[in-house]
């Protein structure tokens, strides 16, 4: 048996933990630059605020219903996530952290009343972190997803649902719309509707040949999993295979120098993560684009993959190639609104064999270590790569909660 545990409305719940007056009130969290809604409390959902809603379109509704609005505070959420995951790791010999707010637990060798076990996790997490969770338990990962959904949908279940009989499995799958199945997106849902498949149960009855043809091996695995035959395996914690740093800007940039400053910043952030997992990269991708919502006729978007002749984790070296890439796709007289750098093609630092001729400059290693140490101690981006442009980009975060758990200057005050 497996369990899927996920945090309810995670970012909104994090904000509530440190501000209990938000309980029972509608809460939303906005993306970087306060662009769109990325998390909603149940009360906010009930007001009809959709995921991804542009914040400016809902300003009036926010005010009218006294919605509490927050700028995303990712360092706080990351820290809360680590606490939740750490507690949950005690409930299983094998944990797969699937995203910031959810994990799978392999319950192999754990011989208990599963419902009781799920309720215990829930109480434990709530008491120690203040975060409410939902638990789905079933013989396969895909069925755990279904069980978890049921646990959330029916409050009388106390946040925990177990699928442990054939009867429960079929009942659950008949209840679930096929478009809500984990792994079936908009495209495939459309194809399935077209041939009369409405529920998850209908999907399990499709012939393998059809599934293989239209949804490839991924579809076959999903179908088996839903039938109760474990086919989607637990993934052990592994290093990232690519590291992306991309942002929309709060304003439009036209000059090469401004864009170079942005790209350099993204490269620095990415390279820091790269070093943190002891990897070096051999390729990177740079992309830039103008505002896709404005002036559609002049929309320009381009990307380029740049090969680095030797594996490196040095911000200085990686940045040189990122800027080369930028040069080749940058066009004058355009208003750029978004850009990003994706580091790819990693090798392990420990397994790296130096080349006879082309190598990363070893002097950079120590320099990077010092930079990482200082940035970790005093906050990100204290040390930055120099650029001719002195201006420091500032993200729009008008409604940021304090960094209660991660910044010593903002630690919560307790009054005696």
Partner DNA sequence: TCTGGGGTCCTAGGACCC
Which residues of this chain interact with DNA, rule CB under 7 A?
6, 31-33, 35-36, 38, 51-52, 54-56, 98-102, 145, 181-189, 216-218, 235, 240-248, 252, 273, 283, 291, 293-294, 305, 307, 337-338, 340, 342, 345
User: CA 159 to CA 145: how far, in whole Å?
Assistant: 13
Nearer to DNA, 191 or 376 (CB): 191
Contact partners, residue 334, CB within 8 Å, separation at least 6: 254, 290, 298, 300
Give how far Cα 326 sits from Cα of 95, 260, 292, 330, Å: 40, 7, 19, 6
Identify the active-site residue in 15, 96, 102, 317: 102
C-beta atoms surrounding 300 within 10 Å = 15
Tell me whether residue 168 or residue 338 sits nearer to DNA (CB atom): 338
Residue 398: CB minimum distance to DNA, A: 11
Angle at 233 between CA 229 and CA 238, to 5 degrees: 175
Q: Which residue lies nearer to DNA by CB, 19 or 248?
A: 248
Shortest approach of DNA to residue 131 CB, angstroms?
Answer: 14
Q: Please state the closest distance from residue 200 (CB atom) to DNA, in A.
A: 12
What single string gives the DSSP state of each residue in 227-253? HT---S--------SEEEEEEEEEEEE
CB of 138 to DNA, least distance (A): 15
User: Which residue has tokens 């199945």?
Assistant: 181
Radius of gyration of the chain (CA): 24
Cα 72 from Cα 29, distance rounded (Å): 6
Residue position matching structure tokens 């009360």: 43
* Least distance from DNA to the Cβ atom of residue 194, Å: 13
Instruction: Work out how close the CB of 315 gets to DNA at its nearest, in angstroms, rounded to a whole number.
Output: 16
Measured in whole angstroms, how far is the alpha carbon of residue 159 from the centre of its chain? 23
Q: In the annotation, is 102 catalytic?
A: yes
Q: DSSP readout, 10-66?
A: HHHHHHHHT-GGGTTS-EEEE-GGG-BEEEE-HHHHHTT--TT-BGGGGHHHHHHTT
d(Cα 14, Cα 304) in Å, to the nearest integer? 38
How long a stretch of residues is the chain?
416
Quick one: how far is CA 220 from the chain centroid?
26
CB of 233: closest distance to DNA in angstroms? Answer: 10
Burial class of residue 414 (count of CB atoms within 10 Å of its CB; 0-12, 13-18, 19+): exposed
The residue among 99 and 369 lying less far from DNA, judged by its C-beta, is 99
The label of the residue with tokens 């396969």 reads 140
Q: What is the smallest separation between the CB atom of 266 and DNA, expressed in angstroms?
A: 7
**Helix 363-378 and helix 315-329, axial crossing angle in degrees, nearest 10:** 90
Instruction: Closer to DNA by CB, 33 or 360: give it.
Output: 33
User: 3-state SS string over 304-326?
Assistant: EEEEEEEEECCHHHHHHHHHHHH
Q: Would you please indicate which residues are annotated as catalytic (active-site) residues?
A: 102
């Amino acid at each position: 048996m497996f369990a899927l545990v996920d945090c309810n409305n995670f970012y909104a719940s994090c904000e509530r933990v440190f501000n209990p007056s938000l309980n029972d009130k509608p809460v939303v969290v906005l993306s970087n630059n306060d662009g769109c809604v990325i998390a909603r409390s149940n009360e906010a959902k009930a007001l009809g605020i959709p995921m991804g809603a542009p914040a400016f379109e809902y300003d009036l509704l926010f005010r009218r219903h006294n919605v509490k609005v927050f700028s995303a505070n990712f360092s706080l959420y990351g820290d809360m996530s680590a606490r939740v995951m750490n507690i949950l790791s005690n409930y299983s010999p094998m944990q797969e952290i699937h995203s910031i707010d959810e994990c799978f637990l392999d319950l192999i060798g754990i011989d208990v009343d599963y419902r009781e076990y799920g309720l215990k996790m829930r109480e434990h997490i709530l008491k120690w972190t203040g975060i409410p969770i939902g638990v789905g338990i079933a013989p396969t990962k895909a069925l755990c997803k279904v069980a978890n959904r049921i646990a959330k949908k029916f409050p009388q279940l106390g946040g925990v649902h177990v699928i442990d009989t054939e009867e429960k499995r079929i009942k659950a799958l008949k209840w679930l719309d096929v478009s809500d199945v984990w792994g079936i997106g908009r495209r495939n849902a459309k194809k399935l509707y077209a041939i009369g498949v409405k529920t998850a149960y209908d999907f399990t009855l499709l012939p393998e040949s059809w599934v293989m043809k239209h949804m490839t091996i991924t579809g076959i695995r999903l179908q088996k999993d839903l039938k109760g035959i474990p086919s989607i395996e637990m993934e052990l914690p592994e290093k990232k295979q690519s590291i992306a740093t991309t942002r929309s800007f709060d304003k439009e940039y036209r000059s090469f120098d401004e864009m170079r400053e942005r790209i350099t910043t993204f490269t620095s952030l990415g390279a820091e993560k790269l070093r943190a997992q002891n990897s070096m990269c051999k390729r990177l991708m740079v992309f830039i684009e103008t505002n896709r919502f404005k002036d559609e006729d002049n929309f320009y978007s381009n990307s380029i993959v740049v090969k680095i002749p030797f594996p490196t984790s040095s911000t200085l070296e990686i940045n040189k190639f990122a800027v080369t890439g930028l040069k080749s796709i940058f066009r004058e007289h355009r208003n750029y609104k978004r850009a990003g750098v994706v580091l790819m093609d990693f090798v392990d630092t420990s397994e790296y064999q130096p080349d006879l001729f082309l190598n990363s400059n070893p002097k950079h290693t120590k320099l990077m270590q010092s930079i990482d140490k200082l940035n970790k101690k005093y906050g990100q981006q204290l040390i930055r790569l120099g650029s001719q442009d002195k201006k420091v980009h500032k993200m729009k975060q008008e409604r940021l909660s304090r960094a209660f758990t991660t910044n010593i200057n903002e630690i919560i005050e307790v009054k005696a």
